[in-house]
Structure 1
């Protein structure tokens, strides 16, 4: 139920068109739910949007999240702040706190907006095709929004679109051969998620390193090649030498797909022919 919070006076807004806001007191309506650990605020997903107000700039959580995503795409999560988002929207920073109470809620909204695009992968007629479509869509999202990879595995993703993606993935895996009960399903999901997090964070880290140093594979080989050659010629690292000398530079997308199918073969217990 809503609880008025008159004890927390919000600071004056500085946005154009809201020049008189410092002359009136505004009160935030907070929503609480009773839990076994006491009273807690309702998650952002269950709180209604603030009532529309007479202001030059209309706001919504979706609009705030979209602006935050654009800023994070350009500057990363370290360059993201409520003040910068407010400036981009042309409003005072305190207006945003009517919609999100802290940075964590803002990140939740951003993440779920990305999951909305992943959810478009939809269901396929066969379980494996469904999982492949969802995971490849997740990779596309992480490469488009590199900050998204930083948040994978870092905290639970419980927004409605994230839950929809989780449901579709779990439902598909539950139909796989070798997944005979909830324990098998939990293990399969755990292995799949571990692969996704590790693979995407590794790929995004490589991209960032290449950008920040300006060094591609050829430049790296030219800089460290002589040292590596001397070390391999000692004969102490024969398998590493084989990988360096005979191994090809693999395509990232092809490698991701190959490793993903290998994971699916393993967790379902029935390798493909």
Structure 2
């Protein structure tokens, strides 16, 4: 169903820049669907791209998402706004509203563009290799686009490429010998997702902290070393002492692979009946 939008768009999640220019939005066509809670806009994935028009700078959702990704890579999600994206593209901010209704839709497009890269990859020989390949590509994407980790595990990712990654992961896990029912599959997916989201967020947070403070692990240890030594000398923390004295600084990629392999084998292995 199509209706004419007089510019009073329900954009509860709009940024300050969005609200500043909201009242001047020109009339344009919205596509609505009926739900048990009333009419709502069709998801961005189901709305057609606006018809091309004569303009010095042609636009598309893919082009807008690419510009937004460049800005978020440089400044993070807090530095992202419709006004800045429009400036990056060389157009007026209001033109972007022909393509996205609000900030949430913009983030959806950005996230799905990253999932498009995750979905790429050669076919693997086994279900286990397939899952590990997807997980490692997800880590590579998060390291290349740190903001992506902030959005993992948040609102559902329902774009076509995100759905393709979800389908490939679920289909592979469903082939694990110990995954015999839909309940087993749900638990396996939940366990794997919980590990991946937590591990990536921790790794990204450590990278950001080191970058923002200018302090690497060696400098941090040097600064807190005397205090830690005094605490360990009390004898109250013998296991922590072993970790500090005997433990090595592990390679992040190798550790991620070891841990995700352990988790994957655990959640798909044979489990004793409770």
Which position in structure 2 is the counterpart of 1:30? 30
Post-superposition offset of 1:188: 0.2
Which position in structure 2 is the counterpart of 1:77? 77
The answer to whether the 8 A contact 1:179-1:268 is kept is yes
CA distance, structure 2, for counterparts of residue 42 and residue 170 of structure 1: 26
Post-superposition offset of 1:121: 2.5
The answer to whether the 8 A contact 1:9-1:26 is kept is no
Which position in structure 2 is the counterpart of 1:8? 7
Deviations 1:37-91 (Å, cap 9, x if unpaired)? Answer: 2211100000000010110000000000000000000000000000000001000
Which position in structure 2 is the counterpart of 1:16? none
Post-superposition offset of 1:26: 4.0
- Matches for 1:1-273 after TM superposition, within 5 Å: 1-5=1-5, 7-8=6-7, 26-270=26-270
Deviations 1:223-259 (Å, cap 9, x if unpaired)? Answer: 0000000000000000000000011110000000000
Q: Could you tell me which runs of 5 or more consecutive residues in structure 1 were left unpaired when the two chains were aligned.
A: 11-24
Q: Could you tell me which runs of 5 or more consecutive residues in structure 2 were left unpaired when the two chains were aligned.
A: 10-24
CA distance, structure 2, for counterparts of residue 196 and residue 9 of structure 1: 40
TM-score normalised according to structure 2 size: 0.91
- What is the CA RMSD across the aligned residues, in angstroms? 1.6
CA distance, structure 2, for counterparts of residue 234 and residue 219 of structure 1: 24
CA distance, structure 2, for counterparts of residue 171 and residue 222 of structure 1: 48
The answer to whether the 8 A contact 2:65-2:110 is kept is yes
Change (3 A) 1:70 1:2: same
The answer to whether the 8 A contact 1:123-1:168 is kept is no
The answer to whether the 8 A contact 2:7-2:26 is kept is no
CA distance, structure 1, for counterparts of residue 157 and residue 146 of structure 2: 17
The answer to whether the 8 A contact 1:192-1:263 is kept is yes
The answer to whether the 8 A contact 1:82-1:96 is kept is yes
Secondary structure in 2 matching 1:57? coil
Change (3 A) 1:122 1:181: farther
CA distance, structure 1, for counterparts of residue 36 and residue 43 of structure 2: 16
Q: Would you say how many aligned residue pairs link Structure 1 and Structure 2?
A: 257
Secondary structure in 1 matching 2:120? helix
CA distance, structure 1, for counterparts of residue 86 and residue 160 of structure 2: 25
Post-superposition offset of 1:124: 1.5
Secondary structure in 2 matching 1:121? coil
Post-superposition offset of 1:9: 7.8
TM-score normalised according to structure 1 size: 0.91
CA distance, structure 1, for counterparts of residue 252 and residue 83 of structure 2: 37
